[in-house]
Amino acid sequence: MIQKIIPVIIPCRNELSNLKVLIKLFTDLSDRFNPILVDNGSSDGSGKFAEKKGWEVVYEPRVGYGNACKQGIKYVISKYPQTEFISFFDADVSEHPQDLEILLEFMKRYKLDLILGSRKEYFHRMPSKVRIANIFFARLISILYRYPLKDNGPMRIIKSDVLKELNMTDNYYGWTFEMTIKALKMDKKVGEIPIRHFNRLSGNSKISGDFFNSLLSLFQIMTILIRYIR
């Protein structure tokens, strides 16, 4: 029998202040969404705090968004082998967990393999360089793969069997692009629906908050695009 629990993999590195809010938001969400924090080398006690609040926590010391996601997937496949869906969510409270319900309903209604949460309506809230990069890469993917992509945000739900097929490899910030591009290349049924987006409550973005990381993430995304270009 298929598990009703939907694991929510949440990569996290030094997000203690935001976690205090995020954990409260998840308590108001349906029990079928089970948050799993992946502490990605935090030095502020993020993982320990989440454990004290009753969350499942996985530790991945190798820094990198993709590394954290892959470790989370490994844990989920081991503990919830029959789960039908796996979702991904960021720890900075820039999105609202309740929107996962909307994504899941839309995904089931249209029998999708992957659904993405689009932040397009809230691009004006993003730092200019993040906004420009999002628009550029979304349009580039739209042209290359003939899919009208509006955004490639982190909030998403994917069928677990499809995720296994994708054989994800990226260790860093090309992760979400690799997933989207591979799904489109394999002719999986991909959908996109608007979600809410907010400015992060506390701390700096791991990408836009650091010039070097901004350049590095751009390089990683371009590498993914070139590697999987048609």
Q: What is the pLDDT of residues 48-102, one digit of tens each?
A: 999 999 999 999 999 999 999 999 999 999 999 999 999 999 999 999 999 999 9
Strand order in the sheet with 56-59: 56-59, 33-39, 6-12, 85-88, 156-159, 114-118, 190-194
d(CA 216, CA 147): 26
> pLDDT tens digit string along 13-52?
999 999 999 999 999 898 899 999 999 999 999 999 999 9
Q: Read off the CATH number of the domain in which 48 is found.
A: 3.90.550.10
Rounded to the nearest angstrom, the gap between the alpha carbon of residue 206 and the centroid of all alpha carbons in its chain is 14
pLDDT of residue 214: 63
Checking if the pLDDT of 1 tops 50, the result is no
Q: What number of residues does the chain have?
A: 230
Q: CA dist 229 to 135, 182, 224, Å?
A: 18, 10, 8
> pLDDT tens digit string along 94-138?
999 999 999 999 999 999 999 999 998 867 667 677 778 888 888
Checking if the pLDDT of 3 tops 50, the result is no
Mean of per-residue pLDDT scores for the chain: 89
pLDDT of residue 209: 47
Instruction: Establish if 63 belongs to a structural domain.
Output: yes
d(CA 203, CA 137): 26
Instruction: Establish if 189 belongs to a structural domain.
Output: yes
Instruction: Establish if 218 belongs to a structural domain.
Output: yes
pLDDT of residue 167: 97
Overall number of domains in the chain: 1
Instruction: Establish if 127 belongs to a structural domain.
Output: yes
Find the domain containing 111 and state its range: 6-227
Instruction: Establish if 1 belongs to a structural domain.
Output: no
